Amino acid sequence: MKKLNIYIGIILLSWLSCDKIEAPYTTGMIAAEKTILIEKFTAHECQNCPEASRIIEDELKPTFVNSNDISKSAIITVALHPGQSNLTNTSKNYYYDFTTESSNQISDYFGISLATALPKGGVNRIEQGNGNRLWNRDTWSELVENQLLDANSNPIEKNIDITINTSLNPITKTLVVSAVINTLNNLEGNYYLALFIMEDSIIAPQKDGLERIENYRHDHVYRCAINEWNGEPITIDLQQGTEWSTEQKTIVFNTEYNSNWSDDWNNLNNCHVVGYVYNSETGIIEEAVQKPIYNE
Amino acid sequence: MRIVSYIIILIISLQVNGQDYGSISGNLQNNYQTFQEDIKIGAEDYPRYTSGYLNLIYNYKNITIGTRLEMHHNAPPGSGLEQYEGAGIPYRFIQYKSKIVDITAGNFYDEFGNGLIFKTYFDPSLGVDNSMNGLRLKFTPFQGLYITALSGKQRNAWDTNNNNFIKKPGYMSDENNRLHGLVSAFNADLSLNEVLLKQWNTYINIGASFVTKNESDNNPVYYVPENVGAFNSRINISKGNMAINIDYATKINDPSSDNNFTYNKGNGLIATTTYSQKGLGVSAGIKRIQNMSFRSNRKGQFQEFNINYITPFTKQQAYSLATIYPYTSQPNGEMGSQIDIYYKIPKKTKLGGKYGTDISLNFSNSFEIHKTAIDSTTDLDQRGTLGYNSNFFKIGENKLFQEINLEISRKINRNLKFIGTYIHVINNDKILVSQPILKNQEHEIINANIFILESLIKIPSKGSIKKSMRTEIQHLHTKQHFGNWAMGLIEYKISKWFFSFQDMYNYGHPEKPHYYSISSGYNKGTNRFALTYGKQRKGLFCVGGVCREVPASNGFAISITSSF
């Protein structure tokens, strides 16, 4: 009887229990082999968007690092300002137009509409059912982990290597880009490579909580597609040891490519080329890479 | 579970071979709505939206079996109901009830005290269904002591892994932790007068509850608690015309999307007192809530996975213009008070008139809670910290909401009654950020004065056909947000039919939109059919301090409800 009471007590305790967590509350670094892409849908009048950026920059990027170089993150992030949202409209207080035609096409692909509450994010374009690839900010960390680590918390092997080659003429602001893909492990299905330009350190107003920050620094802003918004097909089977290259592409940093790249614009130092390979059937991104347009 | 259901059905079917077949009851609701574009009010063209549910309850002696079929098709974007797209049976239960025990297996709703740490309910208009799916035992060992123990997982819309239209209800799952999403609770209510103090004329009821939720620590960045517990104690004392009710709850660290992954404890206090005598009623209360959002999924949003419910401390408004600037309970932190006074000026007096005059006054307010940084290097509410320090007795920096309601109701003669209402609202939309705004407009503190005159007219008629008419004239004055509104309504009832026309005119808005609607319907017994054509403004639709954002719409709506 006494034993039975003890058993019942243990069951009740386990049933009605509490876990008190003591500081420090954060875990440590996690090394990963692959690199993933977070497509963050944001807007200058979105008051919760800067907090979403801080989650990526202050929590996710320092936690998930590259196993070959822990000073580098295993996450690339790009900020897309969807024209489908009222929060990206320009006005007297928020005069800078971050929207672009190709980022709007990507937003269409994600199903962004007037009714979409921002911020939202795509993590390697994983789907959560019913074609929805948009996730709330507090789900991103688990999705990133699932993309980078296996069930035993070991790094998932990288299947392809993407190398981006750039050649910049700073006088004419002309960039020549090409990419090479090396297959490390066999991949089934059809794949596409998409390349785009993103820009850091754009100073423009942003709502942050209840405040309007006049000189907010906007980083990782999507500027223009290099090979269409959805990229181009990779024309070989990605079997181990194979190599595939794109043709050379030319981008001129002028208003034809982005309305903000006027003659006065001078922020070449803060521009990057980002490339990612995705499966055209599932839409899921296999690997991503980022490179400054100035050769390091 | 399925096997148990079959066994019980079999037992019942054997029993019904006798004479008693038991009874079936239920209710049905069906809604159909069209959406046409109207640029002026921001309404978009959507496919026709159909929704409905059917509740069926079979009762045989001590056993009750119930189920609900639910369906949503083409829920409009931004309505908060998109996740309910599909059809299925999200609710089914078997219950055995005797004087001593009440056992329910399957889905159930329940509430402990004011709901500070546990309340599950169904409100299809709000998109709320956080029913438990599990087991509940209610036990009454002797008269005066009431014990409840329950355990289960909460429903959240449908299972998202299924793209078919026919769905299974959505429950949390984790292949490595079968308890993931499990909510377990224990509650005891003791009526002292029934047990010990039988001769007392002071009535004392005390209650205590403990609720815990289990959720896997899947967060790779933070250590998060897998078991979060909340405790609630309450006491109700009443003597003669007076009653006092105190309800206090605490919750341990529960980092979540709601509190920006901070590790502070939560607590909540609701204290109310009432006094009543013939012709006079007074009710007053205070409320303080700190970090009391409590969900079985720490990443839940809006109405998802709520385990508890924060009682609103504002008057629940029904008049159209009075619902424009509602207040939503703030589980992260609020501190407020409410006083409600009702007085009836006696009939056949100079002031009261022939039939007497009813006066009711309501005042409520709500503030932020006091917060200071935990140290000089940590921001307020910074993620991965304790968030803030708070002085329990100190009011926060900003007022969130305040409302004064004065209502005077007077019957003029047997056929005519007037109700006049004045409301003054202060809604701090700068912080609450719940109102839609125009381009170039900022969220701001909204001050509004609302005047309402309602008349109820009985139209004398011969025979058994009853006729009546109701009119409303309303005006909202504000210099902020969308400016002034005027509203008129006329409703005519003849026997079982009703016809109504109303127009809400936002003449302070740059576009000066009209939100008119014309309705007709038929009531017979517990059945009702209604047809409406009109426009609905974009804004918050609230019930009991819980709100859902509704998009602007323009079109037809058909509604059928029936109980049997």
DSSP string, A87-103: GG---SSS------HHH
Q: A295 pLDDT band (50/70/90 cuts)?
A: low
Where does the pLDDT of residue B235 fall: very low under 50, low under 70, confident under 90, or very high at 90 and above?
A: very high
Token pair of B93 as six digits: 């239960």
Q: What residues contact residue B237 under an 8 Å CB cut-off, 6+ apart?
A: B202, B203, B204, B243, B244, B245
- Give domain status of residue A249, yes or no: no
Task: State residue A14's pLDDT score.
Answer: 56
CA atoms within 13 A on the CB side of A294: 9
Instruction: Compute the distance between CA of residue A173 and CA of residue A181 in angstroms, rounded to an integer.
Output: 26
Domain that holds residue A43: 32-158+189-226+266-292
Which residues in chain A are closer than 8 Å to B430, comparing Cβ atoms? 210
Question: What residues contact residue B132 under an 8 Å CB cut-off, 6+ apart?
Answer: B107, B108, B109, B110, B120, B150, B152, B153, B154, B155, B183
> What size, in residues, is chain A?
296
Overall number of domains in chain A? 1
Residue with tokens 């003791």: B190
B413-420, long-range: CB < 8 A, 24+ apart:
B413/B354, B414/B458, B415/B457, B415/B458, B415/B459, B415/B460, B416/B455, B416/B456, B416/B457, B416/B458, B417/B455, B417/B456, B418/B453, B418/B454, B418/B455, B418/B456, B419/B452, B419/B453, B419/B454, B419/B455, B419/B456, B420/B452, B420/B453, B420/B454
Q: Is the pLDDT of residue A4 over 80?
A: no
Do residue B255 and residue A25 have CB atoms under 8 angstroms apart?
A: yes
What is the pLDDT, as a whole number, of residue B360? 97
Q: Round to whole Å and give the CA distance between B262 and B373.
A: 13
CA distances from B302 to A41, A49, A91, B330, B365 (A): 20, 18, 29, 12, 23
Give the pLDDT confidence score for residue B318 in this predicted structure.
93
Q: Do A51 and B260 touch (CB under 8 A)?
A: yes
B315/B326 Cα distance (integer angstroms): 10
Residue A22 is classified by DSSP as P
The minimum CA-CA distance between B22 and chain A, rounded to whole Å, is 37
Find, among B223, B255, B383, B218, the residue nearest to A25 by Cα: B223
Residue whose C-alpha is closest to residue B221's, from B113, B273, B298, B335: B298
pLDDT of residue A75: 98
Q: Residue B11 above 70 pLDDT?
A: no
Q: Name the residue of chain B whose CA is nearest to A148's CA.
A: B220
Residue A23 lies in a domain: no
Instruction: Decide the pairing of beta strands A202-208 and B445-459.
Output: unpaired
Q: Which long-range contacts (CB under 8 A, 24 or more apart) does A148-155 make?
A: A148/A30, A148/A32, A148/A33, A148/A34, A148/A36, A148/A64, A148/A74, A149/A30, A149/A32, A155/A31, A155/A32, A155/A33, A155/A34, A155/A67
A93 touches chain B (CB under 8 A): yes
Question: Is residue A235 a part of any domain in this protein?
Answer: no
When mean pLDDT is compared across A8-12, A268-272, B448-452, the lowest value belongs to: A8-12
Q: Is the CB of B163 less than 8 angstroms away from the CB of A17?
A: no
- Compute φ and ψ for B235, nearest 5 degrees: -140, 140
Inside any domain, residue A24: no
For residue A23, give the chain B residue with the closest CA: B385
Judged against a pLDDT cut of 70, whether residue B18 lies above it is answered with: no
- The shortest CB-CB distance from B384 to any of A17, A25, A30 is to A25
CA–CA min distance A16, chain B (Å): 6
Residues 202-231 of A with CB under 8 A from B: 210
Helix intervals (H) in A16-64 = 49-54, 61-63
* Beta-carbon separation of B184 and A115 below 8 A: no
Q: Which of A210, A181, A185 is nearest to A277 (CA)?
A: A181
pTM: 0.91
Q: Do B212 and A17 touch (CB under 8 A)?
A: yes
Report residue A8's pLDDT band, with 50, 70 and 90 as the boundaries: low
Angle at B408 between CA B404 and CA B414, to 5 degrees: 160
Closest residue by Cα to residue B328 from B305, B307, B302: B302
Q: Which residues pair with B448 in a beta bridge?
A: B425
A20 interface with B at CB cutoff 8 Å: yes
A182 inside domain: no
- Asked which of A12-21, A254-263, B99-108, B206-215 is least confident by mean pLDDT, the reply is A12-21
Find the CB nearest A19 among B210, B227, B301.
B227
Mean pLDDT of A17-38: 94
What is the least distance, in Å, from the CA of A29 to any CA of chain B? 9
Contact B440 A93 (CB under 8 A): yes
- pLDDT (0 to 100) of residue B462: 79
CB-nearest partner of A18 from B77, B227, B299? B227
Distance from CA of B80 to the nearest CA of A (A): 10
Cis preceding linkage at B551, omega within 30: no
Please list every residue in chain B whose beta carbon sits closer than 8 Å to the beta carbon of residue A137: 257
**pLDDT, mean of residues B373-384:** 94
**Residue A210: predicted pLDDT:** 86
For A216-250, the pLDDT digits (tens) are 999 999 999 999 999 999 999 999 999 999 999 99
Q: Report the pLDDT averaged over residues B264-286.
A: 97
Q: Which of A55-59, A111-115, B109-113, B534-538 has the lowest mean pLDDT?
A: A111-115
Chain B closest-CA separation from residue A160 CA (Å): 25
Nearest to B228 among A18, A136, A210 (CB): A18
Structural contact between residues B234 and B115, judged by C-beta atoms closer than 8 angstroms: no
Chain B positions touching A64 (Cβ under 8 A) are: 220
Q: Is A20 domain-assigned?
A: no
Tell me the count of A-B CB pairs closer than 8 A. 107
ipTM metric: 0.89
SS3 at position A173: coil
8 Å CB contact of B212 and A63: no
For chain B, give the percent of residues with pLDDT over 70: 97
Q: Is the pLDDT of residue A17 over 90?
A: no
Instruction: State the smallest CA–CA distance between residue A98 and chain B in angstroms.
Output: 17
Whether A141 and chain B come into contact, CB under 8 Å, resolves to: yes
> Which pLDDT does position B464 carry in this prediction?
79
- For residues B173 and B166, the answer to whether their CB atoms sit within 8 Å is no
| Confidence at residue B4, expressed as pLDDT on a 0 to 100 scale | 46
Count the helices and strands in chain A (H runs, E runs): 5, 17
**B97 vs A18, residue with greater confidence:** B97
Query: Does the pLDDT value for residue B5 go beyond 90?
Result: no
Locate the chain A residue with the closest alpha carbon to B381.
Answer: A51
**Percent residues over pLDDT 90 in chain A:** 88
Distance of alpha carbon B167 from alpha carbon B3, whole angstroms: 21
Q: Six-digit token pair at B196?
A: 């010990």
pLDDT at B401: 98
Distance CA B128, CA B302 (A): 9
Q: pLDDT value at position A12?
A: 62
* Lowest-pLDDT choice from B328-332, B532-536, B539-543: B539-543
Give B79 or B240, the one with higher predicted confidence. B240
Interchain pair A20, B385: CB under 8 A: no
Which one-letter amino acid corresponds to residue A226?
Answer: I
Residue B17 binned pLDDT confidence (cut-offs 50, 70, 90): low
Residue of B nearest to A117 (CA): B78
Q: Is residue A163 part of a domain?
A: no
- Cβ-based contacts of B161 with chain A (< 8 Å): 129
Question: Cβ(B519)–Cβ(B531) under 8 Å?
Answer: yes
Only one residue has tokens 């929060």, namely: A87
* Cross-chain CB nearest to B161 (options A23, A129, A144): A129
Q: Which residue has the tokens 């409320």?
A: B287
Peptide bond into B90 cis (omega under 30): no
| Vertex A147 angle, CA A142 and A148, to 5° | 100
Q: Is the pLDDT of residue A157 over 70?
A: yes
Residue B157 Cα, gap to closest chain A Cα (Å): 13
Indicate whether A22 belongs to any domain. no
Is there a contact between A285 and A231 (Cβ–Cβ < 8 Å)? Answer: no
Check pLDDT > 90 for residue B148.
Answer: yes
pLDDT confidence bin for B543, thresholds 50/70/90: confident
